[in-house]
Amino acid sequence: MTSMTTVIAVIAFGLSAVLAAGCGVLWLRARILDRRATELRAALDRLAPAGALPVANPTGRRIITVEILNPLAVATRESRAGGVLGTVAPALVTRIVYDQACRQIQEGLTEEGVEAEVRIHVG
């Protein structure tokens, strides 16, 4: 029985040595990958400032984005009340301009026979 116990102990020791070596290799690889991720983040920051890159689209779908750069001027041009209200409640006027633009885009696409989902994203 003692020889069997010795064999089991030797096998257990060997397995634990292999396991420890494997853990050491994984730990080193994790450090290398972490260092590489830091280098890539720094390179990305040099290429484009934070927020300048588009959000990744994992589905591969094509998305058209429209940002109205002058919503208050649009409101003023469309109605006198829009200009007056824009000085008092610019956020409300901006929301109304976006809602109307969204509706107009959807109607125009529908008239052309294009099936599309037109939404407003706030963020």
* Per-residue 3-state assignment (H helix, E strand, C coil) for 4-54: HHHHHHHHHHHHHHHHHHHHHHHHHHHHHHHHHHHHHHHHHHHHCCCCCCC
Q: Do the beta carbons of residue 119 and residue 98 sit within 8 Å? A: no
DSSP 8-state code for residue 79 = -
pLDDT digits 0-9 by tens, 71-92 = 999 999 888 888 788 888 899 9
Lowest mean pLDDT of 53-62, 73-82, 112-121, name the range: 53-62
When pLDDT is averaged across residues 12-36 and rounded to a whole number, the result is 86
Per-residue pLDDT, 2: 75
Can you give the pLDDT at residue 52?
A: 60
Tell me what pLDDT residue 103 has. 94
